Amino acid sequence: MTTEPVTAEAGRDFIRDIVQADLSSNKHSRIVTRFPPEPNGYLHIGHAKSIALNFGIAQEFAGKCHLRFDDTNPTKEEQEYIDSIQADVHWLGYDWGTDLYYASDYFDRLYDWAEGLIKTGDAYVDDQSQEEIRVNRGTLTEPGKNSPFRDRAVDENLDLFRRMKAGEFPNGTRVLRAKIDMGAGNINLRDPVLYRILHAEHPRTGTKWSIYPSYDYAHGQSDAIEGITHSICTLEFEDHRPLYEWLLDKLPVPSKPRQYEFARLNLTYTLLSKRVLTQLVRDGHVSGWDDPRMPTIAGLKRRGVPSAAVREFVKRIGVAKANSVVDVGMLEFCIRELLNKTAQRRMAVLRPLKIVIENYPEGQVEELEAVNHPDDPAAGTRKISFGRELYIERDDFMENPPKKFFRLSPGNEVRLRYAYFIKCTGVIKNDAGEVVELRCTYDPATKGGNAPDGRKVKATMHWLSAAQSMPAEIRVYNQLFANPSPSAANFAVDLNPESLEVLPDARIEPSVASDNSGEVMQFERQGYFVRDKDSTPGKPVFNRTIGLRDTFAKEVGGKG
């Protein structure tokens, strides 16, 4: 972590302004933030915004950021999620140092404080059913109704609460509620539930507890215990802030954090609800949490998205107080912009069509020089083999081309990148009438891709030697949802049936086949690709991270 104080150039927003003011006025001498995930799923790009904000502020203002698992609901939480969340925060480039906490570490203290609230007459045990509680809470326009158990004596409340803790009562039969105001305009203040009975084993506390605290009760008190100065959360918690503050006022907490809310990230073509993401995995719509079509950090990583591109994206979208939807194109822009600079160029043929250069000597192999990065001479060059039998991209040939098609067609001359000009002289078809092979000739005088007589061609195509290339499976991903604003309630209807295209017969350069660096490469004219963990020694598998922008223009222009 850097400990430089923030400078004017760093991205500023209303939260950073508050932090700066609190430091300048000596309200705080050191900033402490936290990222508080519930371990009930994998992190997604929305969480990346929250992570970058909380850890980013800690870095910029020489403070610290805690990672705290909000593990108060043992029926939904799993160790797998705890592990993945830690890995993903690290992958994003942030570190909590030794400040790793669990809300469950505070269960004893939270319980004692709850007894304290009972003793001061600020909490009571309610025997109403969940349904009765819901109905009697009222609505936005109607006040709630007091529970018939609201005026229970302190001793009876204490006795019942202790027996709830001891496991005497079945799930759902009683709750502990704060005694605030059933007529409050803010529904969160209508005697919110602080504890519920739940006979469930907890990954960390085992069977010790039969009651678990609610989010609202655990969260603010955990912040206070840890000395969080700025408790930053998303806007849907704005209406919870009065309760957050009510509890801090009533309880003997060691510090008084302040809660600030910012707009959560929403993205077009994307759903970021953990409920939906869990269901996508459970129902098999995707291969897992790390399916490259998922908006999870694990999915982005597997797709080949560099963490620096995610950080750049989060920086560009900024932090605002009003909700909005960000175009997923902005994320894609950040990915392309970075990869264009960093990715080495290679050739791959995704949908191969065999061509035979009839005037090229049988058995001859020529090593041609290819550049690894057009803007970075230091990236060097490599050799690629040319021969009589090659593969080109099936889409680069048309037997009866329309007017503006400049790539290969009978009689038309094109450039094979780094190699020669070729012309198509014959088309071989199968019984079904499909083109299966082309016959071509090459001009030996155009070696390197230029004609000495100065004649021009309109297209430059990628290619690979049939004998000196290797097979690969390539997976091309598109948006998981076909609808720019998919429905969270009924997401299945909005799924894109063409979100994954598997190309089982692709060809790649031999060096690509043996590459285990994990680096993203640009396959010329096709986009950016990264090796997938499903690769086997005989068959490497590559994921398309992202396509090149404006593919058609590039193809017509003939530039890689």
- Binds ligand ATP by CB under 6 A, chosen from 6, 16, 32, 49: 49
Residue type (1 letter), 151: D
Stretch binding ligand ATP (CB under 6 A), from 46-54, 87-95, 281-289, 468-476:
46-54
Footprint (CB under 6 A) of ligand ATP, residues 92-131: none
- Binds ligand ATP by CB under 6 A, chosen from 23, 31, 233, 414: 233
Give the residue with the Cβ less far from ligand ATP, 49 or 407. Answer: 49
Distance CA(84)–CA(297), nearest Å, equals 9
What string marks each residue from 275 to 304 as x (binds ligand ATP by CB under 6 A) or -? x-----------------------------
Contact partners, residue 124, CB within 8 Å, separation at least 6: 118, 147, 149, 150, 151, 152, 157, 176, 177, 179
Contact 361, 388 (CB under 8 A): yes
272 touches ligand ATP by CB under 6 A: yes
Active site residue 264: yes
Shortest distance, position 505 Cβ to ligand ATP, whole Å: 39
Look at residues 494, 477, 478 and name the one whose alpha carbon lies nearest to residue 486: 494
Look at residues 13, 57, 59, 54 and name the one whose alpha carbon lies nearest to residue 35: 54
Residue type (1 letter), 109: R
Q: Vertex 352, ends 542 and 390: CA angle to 5°?
A: 115
Active site residue 60: no
Give the residue with the Cβ less far from ligand ATP, 272 or 300. Answer: 272
- Binds ligand ATP by CB under 6 A, chosen from 16, 37, 92, 219: 37
Distance CA(195)–CA(500), nearest Å, equals 45
What length does the chain have?
560
Contact 416, 461 (CB under 8 A): yes
Stretch binding ligand ATP (CB under 6 A), from 43-51, 299-307, 430-438, 455-463:
43-51
- Binds ligand ATP by CB under 6 A, chosen from 79, 120, 273, 487: 273
- Binds ligand ATP by CB under 6 A, chosen from 22, 38, 132, 443: 38
The residue annotated as part of the active site, out of 264, 447, 458, 549, is 264
> Beta 435-442 vs 421-429: how paired, if at all?
antiparallel
258 touches ligand ATP by CB under 6 A: no
Look at residues 409, 434, 433, 431 and name the one whose alpha carbon lies nearest to residue 422: 409
Looking up tokens 């970058």 gives 52
**Angle between the N-to-C axes of helices 14-24 and 45-60, in degrees from 0 to 180, rounded to the nearest 10:** 20
Distance CA(23)–CA(27), nearest Å, equals 6
Give the residue with the Cβ less far from ligand ATP, 60 or 70. Answer: 70
389 touches ligand ATP by CB under 6 A: no
Active site residue 341: no
How far lies 471's CA from each of 246, 465, 467, 523, 531, in Å?
65, 12, 11, 15, 13
Give the residue with the Cβ less far from ligand ATP, 155 or 236. Answer: 236
**DSSP conformational letter for 350:** S
The residue annotated as part of the active site, out of 68, 258, 274, 531, is 274
Give the residue with the Cβ less far from ligand ATP, 271 or 495. Answer: 271
Stretch binding ligand ATP (CB under 6 A), from 22-30, 117-125, 271-279, 537-545:
271-279
Number of residues that bind ligand ATP (CB under 6 A): 15
Shortest distance, position 109 Cβ to ligand ATP, whole Å: 21
Distance CA(83)–CA(333), nearest Å, equals 30
Shortest distance, position 56 Cβ to ligand ATP, whole Å: 13
Shortest distance, position 2 Cβ to ligand ATP, whole Å: 23
Q: Is the dihedral of CA 106, 107, 108, 109 positive or negative?
A: positive
- Binds ligand ATP by CB under 6 A, chosen from 16, 47, 202, 301: 47
171 touches ligand ATP by CB under 6 A: no
Distance CA(504)–CA(514), nearest Å, equals 18
Question: Rule CB under 6 A: which residues touch ligand ATP?
Answer: 36-38, 46-47, 49-50, 233-234, 264-265, 272-275
Q: Which residues are catalytic?
A: 38, 264, 274
